[in-house]
Amino acid sequence: MIRVAAVGDLHFRESYRGGVRSAFRTVSREADLLLIAGDLTGIGRPEEAAVLRRELSIVSIPTVVVLGNHDYHSDCEEDIKSILRDGGIIVLDGDFHKLDIRGTSIGLAGTKGFCGGFGIRQITPFGEIGIKEFLGHVEEETEKLDRALAGLNTDIKLVILHYSPVIDTLAGESPELYPFLGCSMLSIPVDRHGTDLVVHGHAHHGVELGQTDGGVPVRNVAMQVLRRYYIVYDLVGTGG
Amino acid sequence: MERDALLGLIRNRLANSVEVGALDIIVEIVDGTVRLSGEVDSRQQREAAAGAVHELAGVHSVINDLVVREMKRPDGHHQMIISAERGRR
Ligand SMILES: [Fe+2]
Ligand SMILES: [Fe+2]
């Protein structure tokens, strides 16, 4: 059994100093790895990331994150990535990372994802350049995820996104917001390559449980949804 | 100032303030009185939100109905997921 702790949307501000450290005090005993599904910072300032990195140093299990829209807000996303990486945190942006936990190989693929809407209501890249560029970004994020997943042939595959790949986990959000909370395009590589679990954040007012058309479990782990600083998924194998 | 313009200004202020940085605060305006509601992460964020809005021209008073989100304990609640464990099937 592999124990995956997960949360999203910490929106860490410097004034929270101490909060994350105490919330994650025992996570390393309760889980084998910690995933953080974006929106690590309040408004994407490097100072926020630097304090967060210090607070997360209490975590001794591998910590794997993607950035969220808030982490891009101050145009300092590259600084934020390097600050976190300097602290030993694994930041995925269209890449993968492999781990071995008690003889089971774990592959993690992650990217931020983007908006675009769902199913038959997904926005079509038609008309103005603005719409095409908007959709172009989610297409790019989907390709990044596809390439990252293609690099994995591990026993377990986990995907981390900030935006949602499914509509299920948005229940409770205002319907006007749905197209800005995720895009079903992101679920295509998940189903194509096979995945054991997808975690995402961003939908603060959504629900935790969902799944892709291919039956892959999707979990909205936004802290605001969990009402906890993290949840632990016990991945139990059906094989072996 | 027009009500919609002021709403936009307030939302923008709440999103960009270092101590607030929130997009999901509900803002309503009735006769120049701004009502803030929804959930925030901390007491500081709650006060900072009202403070940031108060400073804006065109805002006469602020009703702060924001509540601080209550977090459940324990932090690490366990949930089981059956994994396919590729290559072992
Ligand atoms: Fe968020
Ligand atoms: Fe977000």
Q: With contact defined as beta carbons under 8 Å apart, do A134 and A128 qualify?
A: no
pLDDT per residue as tens digits for the range A151-182 = 999 999 999 999 999 999 999 999 999 999 99
pLDDT per residue as tens digits for the range A187-198 = 999 999 999 999
Fold of B3-68: Alpha-Beta Plaits (3.30.70)
Containing H/E element for A36? strand A33-37
| Closest residue to A231, CB basis, from B70, B76, B84 | B76
Tell me the C-alpha distance between A125 and B10, whole Å.
Answer: 32
- Contact with chain A for residue B44, Cβ under 8 A: yes
Q: What is the ipTM of this complex?
A: 0.87
Cα–ligand 2 centroid distance for B60 (angstroms): 31
Q: Nearest-CA residue of chain A relative to B79?
A: A233
Closest to B35 (Cα-Cα) out of B64, B7, B2: B64
Whether A26 is covered by a domain: the verdict is: yes
Neighbours of A47 (CB within 10 A): 15
Whether A240 is covered by a domain: the verdict is: no
Q: Are strands A197-200 and A156-160 parallel, antiparallel or unpaired?
A: parallel
Q: With contact defined as beta carbons under 8 Å apart, do A197 and A209 qualify?
A: no
**For the residues A17-27, what does the mean pLDDT come to?**
91
Residues 6+ apart with CB under 8 A from A53: A83, A84, A86, A87, A89
Q: Tell if the CB–CB gap between A31 and B76 is shorter than 8 Å.
A: yes
Q: With contact defined as beta carbons under 8 Å apart, do A199 and A235 qualify?
A: no
For an interface test with B, the pick among A30, A43, A157, A192 (most B C-beta atoms closer than 10 Å) comes out as: A43
Which residues of B, range 50-69, sit inside 8 Å of A by Cβ?
69
pLDDT per residue as tens digits for the range A84-95 = 999 999 999 999
Q: With contact defined as beta carbons under 8 Å apart, do A234 and B80 qualify?
A: yes
Q: With contact defined as beta carbons under 8 Å apart, do A199 and A6 qualify?
A: yes
| Closest residue to A233, CB basis, from B15, B81, B87 | B81
Q: Nearest-CA residue of chain A relative to B40?
A: A224
Looking up tokens 């095409």 gives A132
Cα–ligand 2 centroid distance for B86 (angstroms): 31
Kindly provide the residue ranges of all beta strands, DSSP E only, lying in B1-89, ordered along the sequence. Answer: 26-30, 33-40, 61-68, 76-83
Whether A135 is covered by a domain: the verdict is: yes
pLDDT for the residue B88: 45
Helix axes B3-16, B43-54, angle to 10 degrees: 140
Cα–ligand 2 centroid distance for B1 (angstroms): 30
Whether A30 is covered by a domain: the verdict is: yes
Share of chain A above pLDDT 70, in %: 99
Tell me the C-alpha distance between B25 and A49, whole Å.
Answer: 23
Q: Nearest-CA residue of chain A relative to B16?
A: A43
- Contact with chain A for residue B2, Cβ under 8 A: no
- The three-state secondary structure class of A143 is helix
Provide the CATH number for the domain around residue A231: 3.60.21.10
pLDDT per residue as tens digits for the range A94-104 = 999 999 999 99
Closest to A4 (Cα-Cα) out of B78, B74, B87, B75: B78
Distances (CA, A) of A62 to A28, A154, B15: 9, 17, 31
Q: Tell if the CB–CB gap between A230 and B81 is shorter than 8 Å.
A: no
Distances (CA, A) of A125 to A133, A138, A190: 8, 11, 22
Helix axes A46-56, A77-86, angle to 10 degrees: 20
Domain of A155?
A: 2-235
pLDDT in tens, chain B (89 residues): 688 899 999 999 999 999 999 999 999 998 889 999 999 999 999 999 999 999 998 898 999 999 999 998 878 889 999 876 554 43
Question: How many structural domains does chain A have?
Answer: 1
The pair phi, psi for residue A208, each rounded to 5°, is -75, -40
- Contact with chain A for residue B81, Cβ under 8 A: yes
Average pLDDT score, chain A: 96
Count Cβ–Cβ pairs < 8 Å, chain A vs chain B.
Answer: 119
- Contact with chain A for residue B30, Cβ under 8 A: no
* Residues in the 5 Å CB sphere of ion ligand 1: A 9, 39
CB < 8 Å to A2, chain B: 83
